[in-house]
Structure 1
Amino acid sequence: MQNHKNKIEASDKSINDLLKDQKFFIDYFQREYRWQEKHMEALIEDLSNAFLKSYKQGDKRSDVANYQSYYLGPVVFSVADGKNSIIDGQQRITSITLLLIYLNHLQKGKDNLVNIESLIFSEKYGEKSFNMTDEDRQEVLKGLFEDEEYNIKESDDETVYNIIDRYNDIHNFFPEDLVTDALPYFIDWFIGNVILVKITAYSDENAYTIFETMNDRGMNLTATEMLKGYVLSRISNSRERSKINELWKGHIKDLHDLGSNADLDFFKAWFRAKYAVTVRPRKADSENQDYEQIGTRLHDWFKNNHIDKFELTNSVHFYSFFEKEFNYYVKAYKFIWEKSTSYDFQCPHLFYINQWGIAASLQDALLLAPLKSTDADEILIKKMDAVARFIETYTVRRSINFMKFGSSSIQYTFFNIIKSIRNLDLDDLYTELTNELHQLDQDFDAISNFRLHQQNKKFVKHLLCRITAFVDQNVGRDVTYVNYKEPKGKRFEIEHLWSNHFEGHRDEFDQEWEFSEVRNSIGALILLPNGTNQSFSSDKYEDKLPHYLKENTYAQTLHPDFYLKNPNYKNSILKSIPFKSHSQLKSDDIRERIEVVKSLCEEIWSTDYYNNKNYTDNYA
């Protein structure tokens, strides 16, 4: 008879089967939750694309059972001494739980609710506890589940920060076309058709053996290694083949220094930017096209298309193409990485879009699309900055209008823009990007209704950093966006001009929610150094105002003394902005301040950038 402890079981489980009324303990060695934005974005994109391949408007809910399934991978559990521990898969189960919490909020107030609460927590004696038993994350999960709010404490660890950030990523990336009629179908599909393989061992020893086997055995050839093998096989001259091999190895090493998957990401961006001509429509039964095949079957797609799309028909073609084009575009891709992480006044918008941009899978292809291997370095820099500015303008205008721009929501639109700017000369690129922005429905009029909430703090911080730096620069202060976003000293935090005391504003508001909306509006916010911000938090505006005169220029403009004998201000472009002092701050004053923000946004992200060849960072 087999010893029960030696048993190992494996079975496929839907999310509903895996999580319903379950309780898991997280093993000590993998307690931290470390998913990054790119992981959550990829998950949302993959799930929405898989669902939309089957969903058709007019389907019955029961039809979902026959929709295409999606495999999310294995999870490993150890069941010993009555304790069910997660050995491998905690990252995915945490992310699934966050998505379930988001979907539960999303469906509130709608018809056809799907009962998914039992997948998030279980209840005993009236007490709710979440499916993952880890005291460090219970409070943050409870806050997100109840009202999508959680205030960070100094004692919170990396896991809590990442849980909040990834939840906000779900909010930003979840596609708009799944929010309405399709929502209950998507939730049904997500909990019933998304499949994991559950591997259960009945001893910790066996569980760890499985974990090591899954993570430390065998190295299959990567897509880029298979691509390299095919390319080298097509070059018949041994000397030329050796040269491309050495060139390839050097560039792949450099790319791996950027990130473990940077080589694959580069080839996807390059081929999509320059050679993809089709993309799959977001409707049922549609097949993968160039764009998707490059992402999933890179080397096969190249083998099938190198004649028609690349015009590579013989050894000479292959050698000259990879000796010149591959070399150029790897260097361009490395330039994107360098300037995305280190501010450069010649190309500042690459840095900005690394803080607030679109999906890298779209962004990098868009940046490479207008380049030509014959472009001088100066032209490359100008093209990169022009496209990056377009991306930032697009994301800012969409964000102010409370619209999303996750990859799955905008992929079709941006793929067409990639094709429209492909290989353009600089002046033509400026014209095309200007036209695209003029066609964009969202403008800065929405500033009047824009306000801070839990899920958009990252964007509001970006917006205030851009505004604050712009105002400083235009009165001659030697600062940039980096001084506020990534300062060497104290961090800058969002400061509410009104303290959170409704009682002091009853002369203007009957309801507390009305007060909160005005208090969180963009006109009622500035940036202050951490510490200063905290010490002022409960003070009245009139008491804080004298201190603002010692801070950044944007804060100083609230004070009457700022406008006295200030030639730098009077001789600057800021004179065209409706700035005025506010000795007291009523709701009408905040509305005037909102108009200031609107004017600043229209100036900062003006399409005049594409008309003025001498546009400087003061206007960037």
Structure 2
Amino acid sequence: MEARENNFKSIVTNENRLDIPFFQRHYTWNEEHWERLFDDLYDSFINNTTHFVGSVILKRNGGNDNFAIVIDGQQRLTTFSILLKVLYDKIDENKRKHFENCLFETYKDDSPKINHSKIDREKYTSLFNNEIDTNAKEGIFGCYNYFNTRTESKSNDELFEFMKFICETKIFVLVTLNANEDEQKIFDSINSTGAPLNASDIIKNALFDKAIKINNEEWALKIYEKYWESVFEKDDEMRKFWITKIGKDARTRSENLLHSFALIKGFFDSQKDKLSELSLIYKTHISSLENKEDLESFLNEIKVYVNIYSEFLKITKQTFYKFDDFKSRLFHILNISDIMVFIPVVLYIFKTKDLHKQEQMCKVIETLVMRFYITHKATNGFNKLLSEMLKKAGNKDSLIDFINNHNSFRLPSNNEMCNKLKTLWDNGDNKRANLILFWIELFRRSKEQNTKDIVELADVYSLEHLMPQSWEENWHQYANNDDEADELIYQIGNMTILKGSLNSSLKNKDWETKLNGDGKLKNCIKRSADLIVNKELLDKKAWNKDEIEKRTKILSDNFLEIWSIK
């Protein structure tokens, strides 16, 4: 291994091309990174100083074809090359010849010097062929557009001098590996403490590095496309879904999935292993896969669970739910609550083909989530119990016994739930109350005998306090002070869901006006009377303490009927 200061021109012209392995992650830098890089480079140019950009690690090819593999630094190399392409496009045509070997592959004028990873190769190549989405704000094209804007006001001569400066100044540290050195060890050492890559990226790199070593790159690419790209990286929507951070510990969905899979398979022990060690634990397991069949089987199993988890991808504002669809109901509640600690158990449950067993187990998990979510009780400590919990997840009674007898769970009791439903005070409780009322509405519809009633609803409703939070003007007869008012306003019985928010001038009106409208404004409670939770309000001549408490009792009974472990 050799490390030394170097400039961009030397790094790229010493090779015919630079290859970014097909399995490396997509281009992730954004405007914050672009701005910092451009400002630092331009300030150094104006002041004639040196700015250190970062390190680049290359592994030279051992054959006759003169190319190097980019082990680390693909984000900064990509960004730097795009900046140079912007400058190249703006300078006089007769000056471009000085930089062609920095941007284009030797002997191939139309191929970029950097052969990009599979995800970004098409866009990156299109950019160098001057096929650019000029409206893009993100990714490869967004980077080009940003630098294009930043350089608009600068003269041709200044851009030429700037381009010379950043090409020839030693602003990189180049680390070069020989063909026989293990790049994965180097890669691990530079990424194990920092955060250029998340656990999913490191695991993916380890998997397909192993595939190349077991067989060859052609086979590795084939199984990558079949088992990884098709489910994690098929399009931009899917990529964004998997890199979205969720849960209290803000891990990406892909990390959450891979952690769940490791728990289910048993090579991650929640009692002793740490989430921060997930990639290391995976790499240890991957090293034990000795042949093509073992590795492909392992990837196929991951794909099975990815497809189950991908049901979350189908949840949108347009999704229609019905109470008896227990799978969609659970996914919706998990999505709203953002309580993802039980995902390993959920995936394990849905792996079974027994629908009756799925429904039984989902009811248990859903009750756990709702009771902890509504009462704000912390669930972070449950991570350590997951391995043990998974052993019980194949049988409803065993799982219930585990929950009831494990002190760490202490499932909120019925009394605690009823008390909480009388005191939904916090800002986040509007979201919780909306969730409760939405599913109670669907629960009641599922009980209706009238088949004409629509049993499916989309979650498009807004929460309304019947006795308003600003109560003093039109509701003063029901309370003597703020404390008395709050005891009524924040009960679940004083809340409902409407098709659209009431006009601000109507929200605080008296009961008769809020219920029936004033003849001018479009919305009122009566306009959402197709909802069962609102039909029961239509004959109320007054809305007072007795009515609120009576409705709170009814809704609390509904809650306990839906979300109890029996």
Provide the TM-score with structure 2 as the length reference. Answer: 0.51
Paired residue for 1:432, among 378, 399, 402?
Answer: 399
Distance 1:77 1:588, change over 3 A: farther
- Structure-1 separation of matches of 2:562 and 2:552: 15
Q: Give matches, 1:206-225, under 5 Å.
A: 222-225=201-204
Query: Any idea what the Cα deviations from partners look like across 1:50-98, whole Å, max 9, x if unmatched?
Result: xxxxxxxxxxxxxxxxxxxxxxx99x999x9xxxxxxxxxxxxxxxxxx
Could you say which residue in structure 2 is the equivalent of 1:62?
Answer: none
Offset at 1:440? 1.0
Q: Give matches, 1:546-565, under 5 Å.
A: 548=525, 551=529, 552-560=531-539
Gap regions ≥5 residues in structure 2? 1-30, 44-149, 152-161, 168-173, 175-186, 188-195, 244-252, 518-524
Gap regions ≥5 residues in structure 1? 1-28, 31-72, 81-203, 281-287, 561-581, 609-620
Provide the TM-score with structure 1 as the length reference. Answer: 0.47
The answer to whether structure 1 residue 514 and structure 2 residue 493 are counterparts is no
Could you say which residue in structure 1 is the equivalent of 2:273?
Answer: 289
> Is the contact made by 1:445 and 1:598 (CA closer than 8 Å) also made in structure 2?
yes
Could you say which residue in structure 2 is the equivalent of 1:275?
Answer: 266
Offset at 1:302? 1.8
Could you say which residue in structure 2 is the equivalent of 1:441?
Answer: 412
Query: Any idea what the Cα deviations from partners look like across 1:503-558, whole Å, max 9, x if unmatched?
Result: 55555533223213312322111122325565642332244445755512212213
Structure 2 letter corresponding to 1:334: S
Paired residue for 2:380, among 411, 415, 418?
Answer: 411
Structure 2 letter corresponding to 1:366: V
Higher relative contact order (CA 8 A, sep 6+): 1
SS of 2:234's equivalent in the other structure is: helix
Could you say which residue in structure 2 is the equivalent of 1:599?
Answer: 557
Q: Give matches, 1:475-554, under 5 Å.
A: 475=448, 476=450, 478-479=453-454, 482-483=457-458, 485-486=459-460, 491-498=461-468, 500-502=470-472, 506-530=476-500, 532=502, 534=504, 536-545=506-515, 548=525, 551=529, 552-554=531-533
The answer to whether structure 1 residue 331 and structure 2 residue 307 are counterparts is yes
Offset at 1:418? 5.0
> Is the contact made by 1:234 and 1:314 (CA closer than 8 Å) also made in structure 2?
no
- Structure-2 separation of matches of 1:557 and 1:442: 28
Distance 1:470 1:535, change over 3 A: farther
Could you say which residue in structure 2 is the equivalent of 1:454?
Answer: 427
Could you say which residue in structure 2 is the equivalent of 1:165?
Answer: none
Could you say which residue in structure 1 is the equivalent of 2:207?
Answer: 228
- Structure-1 separation of matches of 2:542 and 2:281: 64
Could you say which residue in structure 2 is the equivalent of 1:395?
Answer: 369
The answer to whether structure 1 residue 583 and structure 2 residue 552 are counterparts is no
Offset at 1:289? 2.2
- Structure-2 separation of matches of 1:434 and 1:336: 29
Structure 2 letter corresponding to 1:393: T
Could you say which residue in structure 1 is the equivalent of 2:131?
Answer: none
- Structure-2 separation of matches of 1:358 and 1:437: 23
- Structure-1 separation of matches of 2:230 and 2:274: 28
Q: Give matches, 1:229-378, under 5 Å.
A: 229-233=208-212, 235-236=214-215, 244-248=223-227, 249-254=229-234, 257-260=237-240, 261=243, 263-279=254-270, 289-294=273-278, 298=279, 300-306=280-286, 312=288, 314-315=290-291, 318-319=294-295, 321-322=297-298, 324-338=300-314, 342-343=319-320, 345=322, 346=325, 347-360=327-340, 362-370=341-349, 372=351, 375-376=352-353
Structure 2 letter corresponding to 1:596: I
Note the aligned Cα RMSD (angstroms).
Answer: 4.5
The answer to whether structure 1 residue 467 and structure 2 residue 440 are counterparts is yes
Distance 1:344 1:271, change over 3 A: farther
> Is the contact made by 1:469 and 1:479 (CA closer than 8 Å) also made in structure 2?
no
Structure 2 letter corresponding to 1:337: L
Distance 1:339 1:492, change over 3 A: closer
> Is the contact made by 2:289 and 2:295 (CA closer than 8 Å) also made in structure 1?
no
Structure 2 letter corresponding to 1:586: N
Structure 2 letter corresponding to 1:398: F
> Is the contact made by 1:499 and 1:541 (CA closer than 8 Å) also made in structure 2?
no
Distance 1:331 1:395, change over 3 A: closer
Structure 1 letter corresponding to 2:441: T
* Greater radius of gyration (CA): 2
Structure 1 letter corresponding to 2:305: Y
> Is the contact made by 1:340 and 1:350 (CA closer than 8 Å) also made in structure 2?
no
Query: Any idea what the Cα deviations from partners look like across 1:484-519, whole Å, max 9, x if unmatched?
Result: x22xxxx53424245733255555533223213312
- Structure-2 separation of matches of 1:530 and 1:323: 46
Could you say which residue in structure 2 is the equivalent of 1:420?
Answer: 389
Structure 2 letter corresponding to 1:502: E
